[in-house]
Structure 1
Amino acid sequence: MTTTGVILGKFMPPHEGHVALVRTASYLVDRLTIILSASDKDPISPSVRKNWMESLFPEAVVIVANNGTEPLPADSPDWGPIIRGFHPEAIDRVIGSEGYIVDLARALNAQHFILDPMWMAFPANSDEVREDPFGHWKSIPDYVRPYFQKRLTLIGPESTGKSYMADVLAAKFGGPYVPEYGRPYEKYRTTGDYRAEELHFIVDGHVAHRKTLSLKAGPILFEDTDPLLTAVWAEMLLGRSLPDLEARIELPDHYLLLDANAPWEEDPLRYYGTQEQRQKFFTKIKTKLDAFGASYTLISGNWAEREAQAIAVVKEMLKTPKMHGGADAQK
């Protein structure tokens, strides 16, 4: 016989306590339905939360119950008929971590399972996570982290310390960081003049890598180059811009623009080694940043000075959580 179960919650956002709750529920039932309580006033939109829950728990059925302008309290007796409307089949078990599920289970003619009601295993709640996500980073599941994460991208001409700086910052503040995809692409490509499509391949590889590593990174995702810098590479290599590539640019929260006045280190994968070429490259990057209205800090000086400037920027970024506009404005 198939055992069915229901979990009710806002999951705004889901945290590791929720993950433990749902995983435990999966041992208690054969078919689990997650009812996501929502309202028009929620600081995180129901669609975002539904996507999180479906990504975290692909075997469960996730249903959004939007109650309009006002949120419906979890202990409201209205939840019984609402859940019945979504789940007309018999419900065997109601799982949760708070006492209100006793009455809910009774209304659904089901058995209640109250798990970790004192939150001893995972002492976190969604309000605290939302208010201070960086302070509760370990409580945020992988799929949820990019929503709260800030992205800091290092760009500049060749041999200005981008990779070195990304590694230093990730080691100090938590990594991994997103490495440049253009270098391995250059190392293994067929020799000859670059084609426009190759710059798109580089963007494809870089963005895919970024999306993967963002799930494991810290509150700040450090990134060595990005599609904006690839767009500048297109101008340098092809002598023209690529509007279709530039349409793919997603600005990070902030850039560190490393100036061209760093010692040149020979590398067979590098192209533009004269100071005149490096300055031209730098000017094109700065022009592109300004054209896109990007937020950036100029990093200059010797290596120790550059490192100190970069660390200061990161510390400033960590003072405030990432803000979301529109339906997901932080409240």
Structure 2
Amino acid sequence: MNPSRFGLGVVIGKFLPPHRGHRHLIETALSQCERVIVIVCGKPIDPIPPHLRAEWLREMVPAAEVMLIDDRYDENDSRIWAENTIQWLGRAPDAVFTSEDYGDRYASYMGSTHVQVDKARLTVPCSGTAVRTDALAMWDFIDPPVRGWFAKRVVIVGAESTGTTTLAMDLASALQTPWVAEYGREYSEVKQARGETEWFTDEFLDIAREQNRREDLAARQANRILICDTNSFATALWHRRYMGHHDERLQAIGAECRADLYLLTGDEIPFIQDGLRDGEHIRHEMHGWFETALAAQSAPWHLLRGTREQRLAEALKIIRTRWPAIEESLAPAPDGV
């Protein structure tokens, strides 16, 4: 072991959520220790599940070992925390790395060295409270796994040939962020190419699960807002369209997806046949299904009508009013938008 380095170093905290200040703290410990254990303290009532915070830290700083413990102690009692730390680790650490004043007391009870890192938050001007208060404003201080949790998800839904994909692409371009395509259409194209015409409920279950997976993956790369061309909530309505009934399993999958805002595209525009569509006769009825379903769920939603340009302008107005912090990451809006 290098005599200039500590043997075992510890970083302890709630990491609610983990941010780049935490990463800087842990990386500092890694640079000075042969081995670093990060102790994540969590309660079941925390706004972000403790196991997720531990998973995020493992991804953010893979060289550190992450330990999750159930935080049910007086957070101000450094002696109890020190005693428990020794019990959890099986020994006292050689060094404790913190950005807080409590570190002196905590380390002294274990006979450890306290290394204080960036107490004034000058190197990384960030805190967990600031991220929880306005994650979009603190976007540059959180890593992809955390961004996936905080990214606002705007979902475009609508009946067949009502401009959902066009609006999704236009919004993603204007907001300089990724968008998630409709997996159901991709699946349908393959199905049609095989000459298959009959649908089965299991296919819709697979489509809904894959839509959720792709959405969660894309959210990690979002620029504050993720645009989704439909989601698994809408898949349940397409199941009704083709199968003629609801399915509780599908609705349960749809309930797992996240949506912070729904934008419903109107059916007043002409129906365009692209070789895959077959629902012109039911388009207006399906539009009504979407209105009813959206009214019954909790996320806010808006109906968009008009030209392509009018829909984009109205959608951007809604989004910018709801989340002003997104302007920090955008170039000046085009004239009229």
TM-score by length of structure 2 reads: 0.82
Matching residue within 6, 11, 26 for 1:7: 11
Residues 16 and 258 of structure 1, relative CA distance in 2, 3 Å threshold: same
2:236 matches 1:231: yes
2:245 matches 1:243: no
Residues 49 and 34 of structure 1, relative CA distance in 2, 3 Å threshold: same
- In 2, Cα distance between equivalents of 1:72 and 1:42: 18
Where in structure 2 are the equivalents of 1:38-53 lying within 5 Å? 46=50, 49-53=53-57
2:66 matches 1:61: yes
Report what 1:32 is aligned to: 36
Residue deviations 1:261-289, cap 9 Å, x none? 123333223222x3x43212212222333
Report what 1:300 is aligned to: 305
Report what 1:101 is aligned to: 103
Report what 1:252 is aligned to: 259
Report what 1:329 is aligned to: none
Identity of aligned residues (%): 29
Matching residue within 278, 282, 287 for 2:287: 282
Report what 1:326 is aligned to: none
- Helix, strand or coil at the partner of 2:90: coil
Indicate conservation of the 8 Å contact 1:12/1:49, yes or no.
yes
- In 2, Cα distance between equivalents of 1:46 and 1:208: 21
Residues 238 and 50 of structure 1, relative CA distance in 2, 3 Å threshold: same
Where in structure 2 are the equivalents of 1:196-211 lying within 5 Å? 196-211=201-216
Report what 1:263 is aligned to: 270
Q: Partner letter of residue 196 of structure 1?
A: T
Q: Partner letter of residue 234 of structure 1?
A: H
**Which structure 1 segments of 5+ residues have no match?**
322-331
2:157 matches 1:150: no
Q: Partner letter of residue 138 of structure 2?
A: H
Where in structure 2 are the equivalents of 1:302-317 lying within 5 Å? 302-317=307-322
Where in structure 2 are the equivalents of 1:99-138 lying within 5 Å? 99-138=101-140
Residue deviations 1:34-89, cap 9 Å, x none? 23345798665645544543454455132335244x5427xx45433232232232
Structure 1 stretch 132-141 or stretch 52-61: which is displaced more? 52-61
Residues 56 and 267 of structure 1, relative CA distance in 2, 3 Å threshold: same
Report what 2:88 is aligned to: 86
Report what 2:21 is aligned to: 17
Report what 1:195 is aligned to: 200
- In 2, Cα distance between equivalents of 1:39 and 1:233: 39
Residues 40 and 281 of structure 1, relative CA distance in 2, 3 Å threshold: closer
Matching residue within 168, 171, 179 for 1:169: 171
Indicate conservation of the 8 Å contact 2:85/2:92, yes or no.
no
- Helix, strand or coil at the partner of 1:12: coil
Q: Partner letter of residue 109 of structure 1?
A: G
Ranked by relative contact order (alpha carbons within 8 Å, sequence separation 6 or more), the top structure is 1
TM-score by length of structure 1 reads: 0.83
Q: Partner letter of residue 303 of structure 1?
A: R
| 1:16 to partner: Cα distance | 0.9
- In 2, Cα distance between equivalents of 1:20 and 1:310: 38
Residues 246 and 179 of structure 1, relative CA distance in 2, 3 Å threshold: same
Residue deviations 1:167-216, cap 9 Å, x none? 22223334212221112212222322222221122112211101111112
- Helix, strand or coil at the partner of 2:138: helix
- In 2, Cα distance between equivalents of 1:179 and 1:47: 30
